[in-house]
Structure 1
């Protein structure tokens, strides 16, 4: 399923899914920022597909914030 997806496309897909799930949890980007110590602009760029070189540690912090 994911074998034909580039890393950039995979991160963009994860960002969109992250945003959807964050919104279903009624969390703002600011709240996620406070939970993770990741800046709001970075979260915005991740969710909008404008950042495609997120570190593994940053990705784990974001995913852990949504449990």
Structure 2
């Protein structure tokens, strides 16, 4: 974590995380959760994350 490589990786992390939220908001059009209740919101967020990861995998796999 304190090595040069670790510092470089930590400095890139905020950019990577923000791009995921921006992508889900912009491309999936998610501005609000459709469901109410913590458990249902967790499920809805998980589905959005799965969709995001599957789209990234599709790009990598060609």
- Tell me the TM-score normalized by structure 1: 0.34
Larger RCO of the pair (alpha carbons < 8 Å, separation 6+): 1
Point out the structure with the larger helix share: 2
